[in-house]
């Protein structure tokens, strides 16, 4: 079933002030028709970067550049699309949804501006309108996983301590092929569940992690790994043309991106049953379409757990082959 939402109706029904109260944003000071305080979106140290105009129902943060209306605010807080933000507001504040059956009547449908009615399925992940700041690139967890500070900074990966969806996790920005951030993944520091948190509505199948840097590396050969940390380690060892599937299955969209951009694919999956099977299946799928090589990591290990020397040897051998 399709969810319908009327953006203007939601904007008219919910004021920015109501939404700020919903999030219990602390420490906002009122000056005439304006609220000012620390930014609840990026959570920086400054307590005056965030301004909300109650008259205009608009906000702006001078530090992270986030700005917009009530829908943009919720989209930024929830790391979701504007459409999903509208659906959430509709639910939270019990705003009646537009009746879909009425839309089947030509007259009613024609009277509603088209752009206000957006369908459930969105093929692309929209670019985020903000970036998290105050990320700690020198957190001990990264060292534990063998990621040095320079790599962490380059990828924007680090510990996020401020309040928000990813609070207390290692945040990993995911970019589209144009290099725009489309989501943050949040890795738990311990056995906490879920191990990786992703914003609801984010379509993993539509992205290849690190694709924009792999494209910039300008090599016809791409290394494909399963996880974010495998990707970071391979990059760190001097092989920048690497992407991660963010799992062990290859979606049709990911396959298309690989075939469009590269001539040769080197699969380096985990040395467990799931990784071996995935490797075989994907090899068979791609073999007719491009050159494919399988790099076998030792049983019971995954690429990011290998010592530098072993990882480098595996990759160098495969490159020459």
Task: Based on the shown chain and the rule CB under 5 A, indicate whether residue 197 belongs to the binding site for Zn ion.
Answer: no
The sign one gets for the Cα dihedral 278, 317, 149, 48 is: negative
Least spacing, CB of residue 132 vs Zn ion, in Å: 9
Structural contact between residues 53 and 59, judged by C-beta atoms closer than 8 angstroms:
yes
Please name the residue that has the structure tokens 């020198």.
Answer: 138
Select 130 or 229, whichever has its Cβ closest to Zn ion. Answer: 130
Task: Based on the shown chain and the rule CB under 5 A, indicate whether residue 172 belongs to the binding site for Zn ion.
Answer: no
Task: Based on the shown chain and the rule CB under 5 A, indicate whether residue 25 belongs to the binding site for Zn ion.
Answer: no
Where does this chain touch Zn ion (CB under 5 A) — which range of 59-67, 76-84, 95-103, 250-258? 59-67
Task: Based on the shown chain and the rule CB under 5 A, indicate whether residue 83 belongs to the binding site for Zn ion.
Answer: no
Task: Based on the shown chain and the rule CB under 5 A, indicate whether residue 61 belongs to the binding site for Zn ion.
Answer: yes
- The closest of 90, 96, 98, 115 to 19, measured between CA atoms, is 90
Least spacing, CB of residue 40 vs Zn ion, in Å: 8
Select 39 or 245, whichever has its Cβ closest to Zn ion. Answer: 39
What are the Cα distances from residue 155, in Å, to 128, 211, 235, 239? 16, 12, 10, 14
Select 58 or 205, whichever has its Cβ closest to Zn ion. Answer: 58
Where does this chain touch Zn ion (CB under 5 A) — which range of 62-70, 73-81, 153-161, 235-243? 62-70
Select 43 or 227, whichever has its Cβ closest to Zn ion. Answer: 43
Task: Based on the shown chain and the rule CB under 5 A, indicate whether residue 20 belongs to the binding site for Zn ion.
Answer: no
HSE-CB for 106 with a 13 A CA cutoff: 0
Residue 218 is classified by DSSP as T
Spell out the alpha helix ranges (H) of the chain: 7-13, 16-22, 70-78, 82-92, 100-103, 106-111, 140-144, 149-155, 211-217, 228-236, 252-261, 273-286, 308-320
Task: Based on the shown chain and the rule CB under 5 A, indicate whether residue 64 belongs to the binding site for Zn ion.
Answer: yes
Task: Based on the shown chain and the rule CB under 5 A, indicate whether residue 42 belongs to the binding site for Zn ion.
Answer: yes
Q: CA–CA separation, 313 vs 169, rounded Å?
A: 32
Where does this chain touch Zn ion (CB under 5 A) — which range of 56-64, 139-147, 151-159, 218-226? 56-64
Least spacing, CB of residue 66 vs Zn ion, in Å: 5
Binding site for Zn ion (CB under 5 A): 39, 41-42, 61, 63-64
């Amino acid at each position: 079933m399709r969810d319908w939402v009327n953006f203007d109706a939601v904007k008219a029904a919910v004021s920015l002030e109501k939404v700020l109260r919903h999030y219990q944003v602390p420490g906002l000071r009122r000056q005439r028709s304006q609220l000012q305080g620390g930014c609840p979106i990026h959570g920086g140290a400054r307590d005056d970067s965030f301004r909300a105009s109650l008259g205009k129902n608009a906000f702006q943060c001078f530090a992270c550049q986030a700005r917009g209306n009530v829908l943009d605010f919720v989209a930024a807080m929830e790391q979701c699309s504007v459409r999903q933000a509208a659906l959430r507001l509709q639910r939270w504040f019990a705003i009646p949804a537009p009746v879909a059956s009425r839309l089947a009547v030509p007259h009613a449908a024609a009277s509603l501006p088209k752009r206000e009615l957006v369908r459930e399925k969105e093929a692309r992940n929209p670019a985020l309108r903000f970036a998290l700041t105050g990320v700690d690139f020198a957190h001990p967890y990264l060292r534990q996983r063998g990621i040095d500070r320079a790599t962490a900074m380059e990828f924007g990966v680090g510990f996020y301590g401020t309040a928000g969806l990813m609070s207390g996790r290692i945040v990993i920005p995911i970019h589209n092929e144009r290099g725009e951030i489309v989501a943050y993944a949040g890795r738990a520091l311990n056995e906490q569940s879920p191990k990786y948190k992703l914003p609801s509505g984010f379509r993993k199948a539509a992205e290849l992690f690190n694709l924009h840097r792999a494209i910039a590396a300008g090599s016809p050969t791409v290394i494909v790994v399963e996880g974010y940390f495998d990707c970071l380690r391979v990059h760190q060892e001097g092989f920048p043309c690497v992407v991660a599937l963010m799992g062990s299955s290859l979606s049709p969209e990911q396959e298309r991106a690989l075939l469009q951009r590269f001539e040769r694919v080197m699969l380096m999956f985990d040395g467990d049953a799931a990784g071996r099977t995935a490797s075989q299946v994907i090899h068979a799928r791609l073999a007719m379409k491009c050159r494919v090589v399988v790099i076998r990591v030792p049983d019971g290990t995954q690429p990011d757990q290998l010592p530098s020397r072993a990882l480098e040897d595996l990759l160098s051998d495969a490159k020459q082959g």
